[in-house]
Amino acid sequence: MKILITGGSGFIGSNFIRFLLEDSGEENLEICNFDKLTYAGQGKNIGHMGLSHDPRYTFIRGDVSIREQVEHALDLFDPSVIVNFAAESHVDRSISNSMDFVTSNVSGTVNLLDVSIGKLEKFVQISTDEVYGSRKEGSFNEDDLLNPSSPYSASKAAAEQFAVAYHKTHSAPVIITRSSNNYGPFQLPEKLIPLFITNLIDGKKVPLMWSEDNPGLNVRDWIHVEDNCRAIWHILNHGKVGEVYNIPGNSELNNLEITRAILYYFGKGDEMIEHIPHRKGHDFRYSISGDKLADLGFKVDPGSFYKRLDETCKWYEENQSWWRPLKGK
């Protein structure tokens, strides 16, 4: 199997490459990482993992939003599968500069779909639970309407719609995954968990969104990145073309609970919390059903969350040479 992984130097993409090469149990693989190496994928993940010298791994630098570079990568590598992780993903950045998200997330996906027509066995489009929007009770399933709240989630929803349209129009072998909030090693310290961990390592307070009527109570479902990678691989091998699969972590916590769990690891209390205003369009709760994925034979065990969170805290303590340059230190 020849797999072209776009955005393979980023957080989830690099962890997926590591999983394929070390833990998937599949020896007959060739992996090509196609990445433009923005601030979110500077190439250090793969090197830090020690994977760059694996003979099954190759790298092509390029931008999914530039059609000629996508054509070059497909001609050079000739993949049978594309897994599209390439995306701008930081919500706050999307609020201040939406066009970058349209360019990478929408135009990039369309370029990949266009160039790969008739050439692939599978095209896995990596999406997010944020496309559903907020829900106070119950959980979204794959057939629910999309109702994105931020420019980021809107761009991911639009990319999905193009993928679905190419499946219907061109019989593109598309499968879509929507995962809950990922955490784990190699996540940029702009996201909540690594930001809070690295701040506390440096003795700084953690910025928790807060108001009198909503004191840090926004709910997110958390999944360790390794579990998401295992789920994507399972869906790639067993999922049905044309289908969408939610990937929940089955670990819903509000932001105050996750903050206190990280504080507890470092032996700190609420005195280390700095209250900041909520962002514009801040969704209250994300929750997705994993019944369809369970029917496919895969389910994440929620019982390991706090253990994996402690392991993540320890990883950032032990790998400061990786994250300090990313925080300008």
| Distance in Å from the first CA to the final CA of the chain | 40
Q: Exactly one of 63, 88, 129, 160 is catalytic; name it.
A: 129
202 is catalytic: no
Cα separation, 318 vs 329, in Å, equals 16
Q: Exactly one of 152, 166, 183, 316 is catalytic; name it.
A: 152
Cα separation, 37 vs 155, in Å, equals 20
Instruction: Kindly give, in sequence order, each residue whose CB lies less than 8 Å from that of residue 318, ignoring residues fewer than 6 positions away.
Output: none
Q: Calculate the CA 90 to chain-centre distance.
A: 10
Nearest partner of 45 among 21, 83, 14, judged by Cα: 14
Helices (H), 123-183: 151-170
Contact 260, 266 (CB under 8 A): no
Residue with tokens 């995962």: 179
130 is catalytic: yes
Characterize the bridge pairing of strands 122-128 and 174-179: parallel
Cα separation, 91 vs 116, in Å, equals 29
Cα separation, 70 vs 75, in Å, equals 9
Q: Exactly one of 35, 63, 88, 130 is catalytic; name it.
A: 130
129 is catalytic: yes
Structure tokens at 142: 């794959």
Backbone angles phi and psi of 276, in degrees to 5? -130, 160
Task: Name the residues annotated as catalytic.
Answer: 129-130, 152
